[in-house]
Structures are given as structure tokens and as C-alpha cells.
Structure 1
Amino acid sequence: MIPMIPAQPMPFEALTPDAYRQLEHAASLKGLLKPFKGKGELEHLAQVAREIEAQLCHLMEVVVQQARQPPYSLLDIRLVLQNTSAGSTFLRWRTRDFARMGVAAWERQVSNRALPQAVREGLHRFEGERIALNLQMSVVHSLYRQATTCAIKMASAEQLLRQFTTAVEVSG
């Protein structure tokens, strides 16, 4: 059963271009599409990716805070931050009683005919923000992992070259 929810349009502040402005400058692909001269540059790329992840997490928190306001707080579902074992954070839907999680919980709530249209539209906007932010987090976290892995490989290659060069100099 759904508690009495007003049918008037719900306040929802979509993330604006201003919210993303800082990310735009940090996430330029020109820093990615270049020859890397050593592990230091790859470590820097990984660091930038980590900083962008933190900024995306902040944007996710803004969306979660909005979803905690009435009338959405009166519903049976919650938008929550979920930390993964891989070290990233994603937005997930879950029911109050934890019986359901994921898009199925959202679909069930949106499909409820007793839900006012304005609330349904607000949930739709939250779902759009969730999808976009999760995509961005996934891409940036993948970039972080790849840059970190490649920095380790680059360091290993540099160490092998130094060892071989030292061995040749000693024997020569």
C-alpha cells in the first residue's frame, strides 16, 4: 500500500552542466590519447581517474539526498550508494525491506497505478540520473584500473631494461 502522496509536481533538480563543469576539464581525452613515456605518466592518469571518481561520487550523493526527500521518502524504494569490492561506487535501487534490489524494484514502483503521475515522472528522472552516473563511474573506474595495471607493467619493463643494461655493462 502506498501512503497518501500529493499529486503536484515534485521538486527535482537534475544535475546541471555546472555540476559537471569541473569534471569536463579533468576528464579531457587529450591526456589519454598520447604516447606515454613511462610509468609516471600512467600513474598520473590513474590519479586523475581517482579524483574524477570522487567527484562523481559527490554527484551521486546529491542525487541520493534528493531521493530521500518527500514524497520519494514515503515510497517503498530507496536510491542508495553501493560500494563494490572493486573499489567503486554505484547507485542502486532497493526496497525498504531489502527484499528486492535493482531495476526490478524501480520498475515495480513505477508500474504501481496508485502512484501519482508526477511522482512516477520524478522516479523516471532519478533513474535517468542513476543510469548516466553509473555509466560514467564504470568508465572512469575502468580507466583507473587500466592505467594502474599499465603503470605496473611499464615499471616492470623499465626494471628489466635496467637490469639487462647493468649486466651488459658489468660483463663488457
Structure 2
Amino acid sequence: MTLAEAIARRLSADAYREFEQGASLKGLLKPFKGKGDLQQFAETILRLRARVAGLMGVMLTIMAQSPFSLLDLRLVVQHSASGTDFLRWRSSDFQRMGVQVWQQAMALPHLAPSLREALYQLEVNRVTLNLQMSSLQSLYRQAETGVSKLHAAETLFDLSRSPTEE
């Protein structure tokens, strides 16, 4: 089994199977009956974010092992201001960061083809996981904003009702 195949297996469709059961667009594209439904949706998003973070951890574990640990390339978690984690490439001396570090590693003439393929697979997974984390964070933020707006509407409605309506 090649390195790329081993990576693909660890971050395969099986790893995503749980996501399919817990998330779908039909959960988003439904009429929310109130802030409770929207809060539940936000909680689901948080659980999905934790699972994506777990897959990010798998990638960090892979990169910490040989032969990847021998390269001038590290995969690190960068914490955003919103509290979301993203995977970033760093040089081993931490002087450089970004996809350019990965591109330089890929351009090494002595890099074994199997290692080059494995690094490609890792980059595909990094981009995918970052996209998923970013999308989930955006949905979560929107859901939380919606809960706040529904709470404000509910409060105003309760205050505006006359005592005879109760």
C-alpha cells in the first residue's frame, strides 16, 4: 500500500459516514418553528465542527510521522479570531507559512514519487477540511444570529400582547 493510499484510507468516505447521518441540507432547508429548532440546528453544527476537527487531528498525526517528519514542512493548527481551527503549512523553522511552503516541498527534485503523491493527497484533504470548517462556522454564526433575532421577536411579541389576549 502506498503512502497516498494509506492517507486516503484514514481520511476516507468511512470517516465521513457519521457526518452523513448527522447533517444534510434538508436540515437547513426546512421551516424552523422557533428558536428551539434553530438552537438545535446550531448544536448540530457544533458537533459536526468537532468531528471535522477530529479529522484534522488525524492529518496532524500523519504529518508527525516519518517520512513526513523528515521534510522541511509541518502541518499546524491555526486558531482564528472566531474560535475556528484551520490547518496551515509551516516550514520546520516556523519562518514561513502558507501553501507556498507545500509548493516548495512538492518542487524538491529528490522527492520520491510516492511521497509527492502522499503530499498531494494531504493537501487535497487540508483544503477540503478547511473548507468544511469554514462553511460550518459560517452556518453556525448565522444560526446563532437567527436565534438572537427570534428571541428579540419573541420578547417584543410577549410585551406587546394585552392582558386580555392571554
Do these two structures clear the TM 0.5 threshold for a shared fold by scoring above it? yes
**Gaps (5+ residues) in structure 2?**
none
Partner residue in 2 for 1:54: 50
Aligned 8 A contact 2:84 2:133 in 1: yes
Partner residue in 2 for 1:103: 99
Go from structure 1 to structure 2 and tell me whether the alpha carbon gap of 1:30 and 1:10 turns closer, same or farther (over 3 Å shift): closer
**1:68-90 deviations in Å (ceiling 9; x for gaps):** 11111000010112221201111
Cα distance in 1, alignment partners of residues 92 and 142 from structure 2: 36
Partner residue in 2 for 1:33: 29
Matches within 5 A, 1:1-172: 9-10=2-3, 12-14=6-8, 15-165=11-161, 168-169=162-163
| Residue type at the aligned position of 1:27 | A
Cα distance in 1, alignment partners of residues 153 and 75 from structure 2: 45
Q: Normalized against structure 1, the TM-score is what? A: 0.88
Return the offset for 1:31: 1.4
Return the offset for 1:10: 3.1
Q: Normalized against structure 2, the TM-score is what? A: 0.91
Cα distance in 2, alignment partners of residues 126 and 53 from structure 1: 19
Return the offset for 1:9: 4.6
**Gaps (5+ residues) in structure 1?**
1-7
Cα distance in 1, alignment partners of residues 87 and 19 from structure 2: 18
Return the offset for 1:109: 1.0
Cα distance in 1, alignment partners of residues 152 and 3 from structure 2: 55
**1:25-82 deviations in Å (ceiling 9; x for gaps):** 1112211111111111111110000000001100110111111111110000101122
In structure 2, the residue corresponding to 1:162 is in which secondary structure? helix
Cα distance in 1, alignment partners of residues 2 and 157 from structure 2: 65
Aligned 8 A contact 1:10 1:71 in 2: no
Percent of paired sites with the same residue: 45
Give the root-mean-square deviation of aligned CA atoms.
1.6
Go from structure 1 to structure 2 and tell me whether the alpha carbon gap of 1:29 and 1:9 turns closer, same or farther (over 3 Å shift): closer
In structure 1, the residue corresponding to 2:7 is in which secondary structure? coil
Cα distance in 2, alignment partners of residues 40 and 118 from structure 1: 50
Determine which structure has more spread, i.e. the larger CA radius of gyration: 1
Return the offset for 1:114: 2.2
Aligned 8 A contact 1:39 1:155 in 2: yes
Cα distance in 1, alignment partners of residues 58 and 93 from structure 2: 23
